[in-house]
Chain A
């Protein structure tokens, strides 16, 4: 006899500005289970979570909590229903103390109730302890490091005594010891009858902690099954939907001479130490590693945002100094940043202006813009990259994620780069646009560009790269040729283990 599930979502749809993020997702959570939710980036996990917590409202579909339908979900309603969440990006109030950050999410009641600081502090200390940390409850959240913030989020979630607890990549920036104590907490909660939704890209974690797993792909539910007896290869196949090699339009192109070389590059500000790398003409170098391993920081060091304080950067064998992004651009180094909406494109700026922003000198004479040149440039790249828009003067923000990413790409192609760094180029991009971007990368490599691609999606790294460098704790651990690499190697190196060669299944 199946008991009433704690949470049941069925037929949930949601679209943003015409992009279908969820196309009819169904999901079920029982009391006392850890239910893993997996899928590639952009599969719709985060959107589903936000709908369950009331941060977004679904376009259609039903949501039931303990058998009762929830119609207009809001954050406060979700909270009274016993739903709590820990997000990937901790949402703490920087100006408030740890104790208060924990308390604010937990205390109910009106605006005019009195606050008991002593109780708050005690509660915070206790919850932090249960989360396996001895953080001072009186510290300001602004002074916490990323893992410490994550701990506070976990303490909050424990304190919420939630019946349904959602964890969105809670271990992304945790050390091993912290991960262990988190798992203890999870087991404890599970034994208390809490239902946990656990989102992670680390498949080994799922095998360690989850009872069941639901796979999302492109906004659809693919399957829900028990973790016991599940092969990792099956899981990956469900997530990706195709055989890995079939997904990526990788073409072999002739690899030329070394274009960019790093020798022992360190940057204290960026947390990068002793990185040595080479990228050649026509080559795609995949940069793998966990979040926080320093991949983005390395890219920012190469690009001059956080200049290197020791080591050498050589461009076509010549030693160069890159102190600012302007220097990098001058040298023909382009960088498509990870955070597209904050850094990659200016959402409120027209497409044409976005495309030309990094290379204003090319569309200007004596410092004055030539609108005709700009128009030609924008027109060329809109056609070339297949950006779907009615006008080159439309604001970039109205485009879908994939088209925005193409605009960001256009900006860097316009500088006619020798080296192009792509940081999570397909994050939050739908499948169609994703393969287009992959095809474009191949085209660029064919034209002789040296490409560095940072990606958290292992299949993408494996499928697109000619060589793969794995980073851990701010440095490059090892570099493989495409043929030598496999997921196990990369993951164990990324986790900081020496590669042992033993392949492990999921269960």
Chain B
């Protein structure tokens, strides 16, 4: 019975380190590093290395906790939502219930355990599919967080000792939260790869019924990983709060999908059984390095999604091909009904078709924009020009899109290089991340439209310490965190102007309703405070009946307005305070034929022009956004070239002429009311 060749009892290096073909990913990671080292500024430095790790800690915690879940063949979509819930409970416990930080942290962690336990209970006791359970709890956790805080509550001003956990560096270089991540990673590593329980999890993933036959307590083990996932989400929430300095119900939005991407990219099979924590770590870094590298190379951050998608399909596809090469039996059964070449041709056709469609779509949109903007941009002059990085709150928001045109105009005029990048939606953590990237890259000036004051100020101070000129625009950071603030209007000014205009149209009397952006949007919530204040103090006969969210979605604003018109038939005015909300509300009013209802709001004139002419929208309140972008970049350029310094009282601003400066605030002018008589004069 003795085999002729000696029995192999040691794993070779490939079996040990890359059991699931992780080398494909490792190669991709090396390729990324090599590419960005070549085209990015200051990419290949120790400092940047730690920075990448620091920014991936929260996501990493979720991904690490998700790995054993996916190894058992399950999934958890509720991690990000649990972060939001744990964050607000942590904030409330500390601020409102006056618990000390450790107790608040403990409470948040208990809550995470309870949430994870709920998932575990439903999955193991009720035998519900994990996808559905966690889809439900995804809604439930986030919903409770929003319900508890009314969406608006933003806990900040945490003690510095706590913020050190998310913002401090040990020995000036090693981020504090890295230690926490290493500890959690090590614990999970021991659990999954070294412990009896981990072995059981793999067995469950390969065959749950078979594991039962081997005496493994299947339901208890599965319950454990969901429970731990809730716990890890709570820990991630605490790190997140310390990192950006605020606790809000929108913490961790979208993290669940990012975590799944990292885990799957790392070679973990969605069918269970296969996968390692090393792989997850590689997957995580493949994404983080990509994001960071794109910032440092000043490439648009939208490429992240496109490239991540391609990487995902490529690594999984290569893995699949490798595996099916081994499984000769399966291949044989498949051969039966369709020839491989037919499949290849079919797929090839589809992919080519898709490429053509994508290409033409891109080209059409581009050509359209060109006709709108009037001709291609002139060729850039040569030579080292100052680099000015400008960040909107949300890149796709029409309001900020219209600011961008002015920014580009100023960049051309002042002969500076403009980087325009930021989060796709409102996301304070992402803002920090982009600024960190710019600091590492070494830009000359940074201008930020601030989503979260407390969180970003730390990072901006760091930028100033490196000699980078820092401006804020649209919304301010803490005063000492920036050189100048380009002030277009204060929240108070905006709120008051909106109410005054409403009162004028309603003759100071009647019901009105507000359509806001996301319930958690910081700016809008500030404006709402002043709107309420103005109504209470000056217009006792005005009545604000309801505030409804639109999530910056035109269609949702449309639907909400329809409902408002029915539920509150006496509403005579809709006040939209997010750019897509106003045209959405206007269309609803128009289609309802309610000529007695007026629509006003804060939006971009070009989106509202038609409705203003039709008499549906009475007035749009805004400043000249184009001028705002223009002034921001121009001021930054003047600062960088040393043409202005602190203590100035006015500033020569190109086509805007002389602009007033009060202290460190550059004043653009008062909010402007666009109406039928003047709206055609503006083209943004």
Contact = CB atoms under 8 A, between A and B. Distances in A.
Interface of A: 16-17, 54-57, 72, 74-76, 305, 324-326, 328-329, 335, 337, 342-349, 353, 356-358, 360-361, 364, 367-369, 375, 378-379, 382-383, 386, 388-393, 411, 436
Given A390-B3, A391-B8, A392-B8, A343 B213 contact: yes
B273 A391 contact: no
Contacts of B190: 368
Nearest to A72: B336
Interface stretch (B327-335, B411-419, B527-535): B327-335
Contacts of B200: 360
B391 to A, nearest CB: 48
B152 to A, nearest CB: 47
Given A348-B273, A357-B216, 11 more contacts: A75-B336, A325-B213, A326-B217, A343-B210, A349-B202, A353-B202, A364-B195, A364-B196, A375-B10, A386-B1, A391-B9
Contact of B336 (A57, A329, A344, A360): A57
Q: Return the 8 tightest CB-CB contacts between A and B, nearest first.
A: A386-B1, A391-B8, A325-B215, A346-B206, A343-B213, A360-B196, A329-B215, A357-B214
Chain B interface residue bracket vs A: 35 or more
Interface in B332-369: 332-333, 335-337
Nearest to A360: B196
B176 interface: no
A364 B202 CA distance: 16
Contact of A369 (B3, B195, B213): B195
B332 A57 contact: yes
Contact of A17 (B1, B2, B216, B328): B328
Contact of B196 (A343, A345, A347, A369): A369
A361 B9 CA distance: 21
B209 interface: yes
B213 A347 contact: no
Given A56-B333, A390-B7, A392-B8, A346 B203 contact: yes
A358 B215 contact: yes
A353 B190 CA distance: 17
B84 to A, nearest CB: 34
B209 A343 contact: yes
A369 B210 contact: no
Contacts of A72: 336
Given A360-B199, A364-B196, A369-B194, A349 B217 contact: no
B96 interface: no
B7 A382 contact: yes
Interface in B163-204: 190, 194-200, 202-203
Interface in B1-32: 1-3, 5, 7-11, 15
A393 B329 contact: no
B195 A393 contact: no
Contact of B195 (A17, A74, A367, A386): A367
B207 interface: yes
A485 B335 CA distance: 49
Contacts of A353: 199, 202-203
Contacts of A342: 207, 209-210
B203 A349 contact: yes
Contacts of A378: 9
Nearest to A335: B213
19 contacts: A56-B333, A57-B332, A305-B212, A324-B217, A325-B215, A328-B215, A343-B213, A346-B203, A348-B273, A353-B199, A353-B203, A357-B216, A367-B197, A368-B195, A368-B196, A379-B9, A389-B3, A390-B3, A436-B1
Contacts of A364: 195-196
B7 A391 contact: yes
Contacts of B216: 325-326, 357
B202 A390 contact: no
B11 A325 contact: no
Interface string B560-576: 00000000000000000
Contacts of B142: none
B213 A74 contact: no
Contacts of A335: 213
B196 A17 contact: no
B337 A74 contact: yes
A379 B7 contact: yes
B213 A344 contact: yes
Contact of B335 (A16, A57, A305): A57
Given A57-B336, A74-B336, A346 B7 contact: no
A367 B7 contact: no
A17 B203 CA distance: 23
Nearest to B337: A74
Contacts of B199: 353, 356-357, 360, 369
Contacts of B197: 367
Contacts of A347: 206-207
A358 B199 CA distance: 11
Contacts of B10: 375
B5 A337 contact: no
B274 interface: yes
Contacts of A344: 210, 213
A391 B7 CA distance: 6
B207 A343 contact: yes
A378 B335 CA distance: 37
Given A57-B332, A391-B8, A348 B209 contact: no
Given A325-B214, A329-B215, A16 B329 contact: yes
Interface in B424-443: none
A349 B213 contact: no
Contacts of B214: 325, 357-358, 411
